[in-house]
């Protein structure tokens, strides 16, 4: 930047180790554009070198010290003057002095904790970046480099299905069911909707994925809702006993993991919104929260040459050889016995093949489909006291208050 004819006398370049082969991730910037940054995970070391080159050969650069910082920062768009730093690491590259030639400084932030994922929303931005500062008397020379951070999770134990009966009293009773409550970002939402009672004229039904971003606390709380995707799953009037299948693929949408109370500054939640519209254009909806998480795709390195695995492999090979020898001896004895028998005796000694479990049988597999378990009507199992009311959207221009039921 030029100031009264004087510009910066040096240029800064930040080079990260392995940046030619490291994976990149697309990150949304605050101006709604997308850029690709080098991707890191929690606990990974961030290292590289800082190259400082003088613009004029033969000149010198006086400075009060050179430092590099690794910063994790949350920025509220409605309060841009205040940045909340949850990580701030500093390393000194050079002490005060003069620089008379181009210089390179190595740096390393080992095993850096990165507890949150990068995020850019409507009112908030979370970012990680490296910041190099050449401290000078008049104006510092500063260079920043952003990186992307993804948080990986696993939900393998408790992942129950979502099952709920909702409706409008004496008008509409429906039961919706989703196969899981937690989905990874490339997952598929599978479900169904079962109509138990239909006494209103429904025109169509749709399902939407809604992102709810909450920032701030107390009276300074701001909430923004964004519709990520919307599907029309039914067109026309349903009848009692009809079942509508649902299948939503998440891979094609710009989704982030669910974020809950990040550094006590903001939260990001996702909801499945089921909407029904009648012939008078009145809309009834019911929202259900789901949890999204990022599934790790890192390939684990092979340990096939470790001593324990090699010893186990050798034991397996020895066991297989012994089994093969015993099988050959048994076959030879069977051939000798068969030559002493008459044809009738030989056929009488033949045994039937045993059918393998679940082979051409009606036995259920362990990997069950949650939607094949129940063949009877859901109304036989769910009491009326468990029915939850749907909400009619305001502003539809109708004066009929009999159907307005609050959640």
- What is the secondary structure of 245-264 as a DSSP string? EEEEE-TTS-----EEEETT
Give the C-alpha separation, 338 to 330, whole Å: 12
pLDDT of 256 strictly over 50 = yes
CB hemisphere CA count around 186 (13 angstroms): 4
Asked if residues 98 and 66 have their Cβ atoms less than 8 Å apart, the reply is no
| Maximum average pLDDT range among 180-194, 353-367, 391-405 | 180-194
Asked if residues 118 and 87 have their Cβ atoms less than 8 Å apart, the reply is no
Q: Which residues contact 310 (CB under 8 A, 6 or more apart)?
A: 304
Give pLDDT tens digits for 274-283: 998 888 888 8
Residue with tokens 């990520």: 228
226-239 average pLDDT score: 90
User: pLDDT averaged over the chain?
Assistant: 78
Give the C-alpha separation, 128 to 39, whole Å: 11
Written as six digits, the tokens of 160 are 């129950």
Give the C-alpha separation, 85 to 395, whole Å: 43
What is the residue-wise DSSP string for 339-372?
HTS-HHHHHHTPPPPPPPTTTTS-PPPSS--TTS
Give the C-alpha separation, 182 to 19, whole Å: 33
Residue with tokens 């003069």: 98
Q: How confident is the model at residue 126 (pLDDT cuts 50, 70, 90)?
A: very high
Residue with tokens 């995970």: 41
Give the C-alpha separation, 30 to 35, whole Å: 11
Exposure string for 67-103, b = 16+ CB within 10 A, e = fewer: bbbbbbbbbbeeeeeeeeebbeeeeebbeeeebeeeb
According to DSSP, the residues that pair with 73 across neighbouring strands are 85, 127
Exposure string for 170-205, b = 16+ CB within 10 A, e = fewer: ebbbbbbbbbbebbbbebebbbbbbbbbbebebbeb
Residue with tokens 């068969």: 338
The 3-state DSSP composition of the chain as helix, strand, coil percent (nearest 5) reads 15, 45, 40
pLDDT score at 58: 78
pLDDT of 240 strictly over 90 = no
DSSP 8-state secondary structure symbol assigned to residue 6: B
CB hemisphere CA count around 237 (13 angstroms): 10
CA distances for 404 relative to 129, 159, 165, 244, angstroms:
50, 34, 18, 25
Written as six digits, the tokens of 202 are 């429904």
What is the β-pairing status of strands 162-168 and 388-389? Answer: parallel
pLDDT of 339 strictly over 50 = no
According to DSSP, the residues that pair with 219 across neighbouring strands are none
Q: Which residue has the higher pLDDT, 153 or 222?
A: 222
pTM above 0.85, yes or no: no
pLDDT score at 359: 40
40 burial via Cβ count (<10 Å: 0-12, 13-18, 19+): buried
Q: Which residue has the higher pLDDT, 165 or 45?
A: 45
pLDDT of 333 strictly over 90 = no
393-401 average pLDDT score: 49
**Lowest mean pLDDT across 167-176, 258-267, 345-354:** 345-354
**Residue 128: other Cβ atoms inside 10 A:** 22
pLDDT of 366 strictly over 50 = no
């Amino acid at each position: 930047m030029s100031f009264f004819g004087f510009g910066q006398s040096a240029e800064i370049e930040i080079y990260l180790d392995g940046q030619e082969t490291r994976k990149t991730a697309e990150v949304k910037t605050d101006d709604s554009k997308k850029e690709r940054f080098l991707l890191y995970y929690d606990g990974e070391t961030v290292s590289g070198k800082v190259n400082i080159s003088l613009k004029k050969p033969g000149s010198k650069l006086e400075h009060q010290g050179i430092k590099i910082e690794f910063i994790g920062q949350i920025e509220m768009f409605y309060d841009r003057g205040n940045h909340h730093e949850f990580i701030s690491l500093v390393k000194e590259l050079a002490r005060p002095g003069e620089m008379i030639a181009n210089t390179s400084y190595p740096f390393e932030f080992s095993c850096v904790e990165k507890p949150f994922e990068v995020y850019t929303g409507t009112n908030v931005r979370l970012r990680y970046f490296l910041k190099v500062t050449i401290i000078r008397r008049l104006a510092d020379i500063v260079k920043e480099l952003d990186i992307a951070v993804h948080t990986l999770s696993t939900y393998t134990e408790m992942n129950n299905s979502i099952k709920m009966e909702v409706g409008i009293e004496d008008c509409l009773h429906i039961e919706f069911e989703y196969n899981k409550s937690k989905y990874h970002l490339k997952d598929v939402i599978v479900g169904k909707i079962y109509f138990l009672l239909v006494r209103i004229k429904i025109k169509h039904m749709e399902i939407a994925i809604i992102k709810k971003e909450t920032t701030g606390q107390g009276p300074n709380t701001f909430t923004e809702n964004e519709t990520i995707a919307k599907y029309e799953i039914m067109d026309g009037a349903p009848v009692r006993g009809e079942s509508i299948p649902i299948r939503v693929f998440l891979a094609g949408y710009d989704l982030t993991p669910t974020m809950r109370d990040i550094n006590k500054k903001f939260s990001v939640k996702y909801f499945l919104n089921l909407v029904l519209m009648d012939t008078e254009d009145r809309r009834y909806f019911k929202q259900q929260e789901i949890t999204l998480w990022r599934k790790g795709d890192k390939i684990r390195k092979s340990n096939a040459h470790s001593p324990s695995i090699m010893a186990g492999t050798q034991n397996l090979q020895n066991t297989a050889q012994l089994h093969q020898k015993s099988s050959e001896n048994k076959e030879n004895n069977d051939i000798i016995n068969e030559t002493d028998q008459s044809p009738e005796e030989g056929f009488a000694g033949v045994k039937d093949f045993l059918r393998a479990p679940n082979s051409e049988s009606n036995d259920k597999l362990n990997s069950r489909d949650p939607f094949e378990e129940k063949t009877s009507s859901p109304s036989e199992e769910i009491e009326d006291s468990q029915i939850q009311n749907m909400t009619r959207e305001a502003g539809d221009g109708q004066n009929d208050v009999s159907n307005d039921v609050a959640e």
